[in-house]
Amino acid sequence: MTTPTLLVLGTDPLPRLGRLTGRVRVEYADESTLADRLPSADVLLVWDFTSHAVRAAWPGGGPRPRWVHTASAGVDHLLCPELAASDTVVTNARGIFDGPIAEYVAALVLAFAKDLPRTLEFQRERTWRHRETRRLAGTRACVVGSGPIGRAVAGTLQALGVTTALVGRAPRDGVHGPEDLDRLLARADWVIAAAPLTESTRGMFDARRLGVMQPSAYFVNVGRGQLVVEEALAEAVRQRWIAGAALDVFEVEPLPRDSPLWRLPGLIVSPHMSGDTAGWRDELGAQFVELFELWAAGRPLVNVVDKQRGYVPGH
């Protein structure tokens, strides 16, 4: 049997492929070499999931890998019309980031409820200022995105006593459809964006949607930066139309140093790190090895993305 060629798009630290050593021919590519090396690859591992190189390189001539795996939950950075129309199977890293992101969201919600940003600010100023804070139990959350990450966020918030509504692409047991979103936003104390980026979700949190929220509500985005119209969000926070926000993802990443978001009072900025806990790269590598074992044995892969919808269906 011919040894398959695995092409890895990425930079250091590179994935640990463990028991695949000697069973595959591993080649590496960056944005400048990917187009030339795609035709010789049987499998493409998109290890650098911040890169958009696949979208640019895929439409070229020659054979294409039969399977593409991205070490991320989102696939918007690699899907292009040519890849979507091809027979190539696309899989993602579903299951790796659910728990860590849910914990991160819970930390942000607790930080807002307990006024931790101002506590740290007063400490830096050596200011003793007693305040009353908010009790989390009994508040309401609207989690937009009913995939594994959204469900994990909802479950974690529920464990803290938060009444949580989950909104997905279509209504079903335990999940509201898009037609309920405005009504749920108007009642929510916490609005969590955890949806995949698709044509129907791009810019969904615009000035109108943010205006539906209560002045006492907080907004958290751990999905994709393009879910939010950033200028509208900044204005909503600046004018106190909402109480505050936390963004872990942005329209442009890294967030430019001159972005006004850095210094906007009431806004917490973090560098796309909500799902990245100690050992996460090793987990991603182990997950890919398990998927490769299935692929090499001719067995059905899991985490298969519906390339038309832009996410793994069935959740």
Over residues 284-296, mean pLDDT:
97
pTM: 0.95
Nearest to 273 by CA among 67, 108, 146, 36: 108
For the question of residue 224 being annotated catalytic, the response is yes
For the question of residue 27 being annotated catalytic, the response is no
The Cα–Cα gap between 239 and 186 comes to 18
CB 291 within 8 A of CB 91: yes
Write the CA distances from 1 to 24, 149, 175, 296, 299, integer angstroms.
Answer: 11, 39, 47, 11, 17
Question: pLDDT digit string (tens) for 247-287?
Answer: 999 999 999 999 999 999 999 999 999 999 999 999 999 99
Instruction: Give the model's confidence band at 1: pLDDT under 50 very low, under 70 low, under 90 confident, else very high.
Output: low
DSSP state of 16: P
Over residues 230-255, mean pLDDT:
98
Q: In the structure encoding, which two tokens stand for residue 74, read together?
A: 């989102």
Over residues 307-313, mean pLDDT:
94
Report whether pLDDT(62) > 90. yes
Q: Which of 69, 77, 176, 224 is catalytic?
A: 224
CB atoms under 10 Å from CB of 135, counted, come to 10
For residue 6, what are the β-bridge partners?
Answer: 26, 43
Instruction: Give the model's confidence band at 11: pLDDT under 50 very low, under 70 low, under 90 confident, else very high.
Output: confident
CB 205 within 8 A of CB 88: no
DSSP state of 19: G
Q: Which of 121, 231, 253, 293 is catalytic?
A: 253
Report whether pLDDT(315) > 60. no
For the question of residue 272 being annotated catalytic, the response is yes
CB 71 within 8 A of CB 292: no
Instruction: Give the model's confidence band at 12: pLDDT under 50 very low, under 70 low, under 90 confident, else very high.
Output: confident
Q: Got the DSSP string for 243-303?
A: SEEEES--SSSSPPTT-GGGG-TTEEE--S-TT--TTHHHHHHHHHHHHHHHHHTTPPPSS
Q: Which of 187, 272, 281, 309 is catalytic?
A: 272
Question: pLDDT digit string (tens) for 151-198?
Answer: 999 999 999 999 999 999 999 999 999 999 999 999 999 999 999 999
Q: In the structure encoding, which two tokens stand for residue 295, read together?
A: 């692929």
Question: pLDDT digit string (tens) for 191-225?
Answer: 999 999 999 999 999 999 999 999 999 999 999 99
Question: pLDDT digit string (tens) for 95-148?
Answer: 999 999 999 999 999 999 999 999 999 999 999 999 999 999 999 999 999 999
